[in-house]
Amino acid sequence: MLVLDCVGAQKRIQYERVICMLENNNVGSLQNILFPHTFTLNPIDAACLSESIDYLKLMKICFITSKTDQQFELNALPQWVPLKQIDVFINHLVQSLSHYGQSQTLMHLFE
């Protein structure tokens, strides 16, 4: 008898695909979101994200604009991020930026 974890297998395949793109310095293209996702962060995380907005655009990680000091709008994200996991992506992105800084965010974003 063979038991497969389909969800785990799908996540592993997605992870391997993203790591391959990173190794080739190709994060992929961004997909625009039909309805921009607005979110609010605490002051420390907001300051960290504000400093990194241009870097995130340049590296094609996502397209975020600042609406206020603590409120942001996500307009585009990588194609490999499921739309139903936008909040998880944002939380992990902000956590990676605050812990590792801009230069190490790409590799730690997928842990």
10 Å CB burial of residue 61 (0-12, 13-18, 19+) is buried
pLDDT at residue number 6: 81
- Mean pLDDT per block of 10 residues along the chain (111 residues) reads 78 72 66 90 89 82 87 88 86 83 56 52
The three-class DSSP label of residue 90 is helix
**Distance from chain centroid for Cα 2:** 34
Q: Are 30 and 79 in contact (CB under 8 A)?
A: yes
CA dist 49 and 3 (Å) reads 42
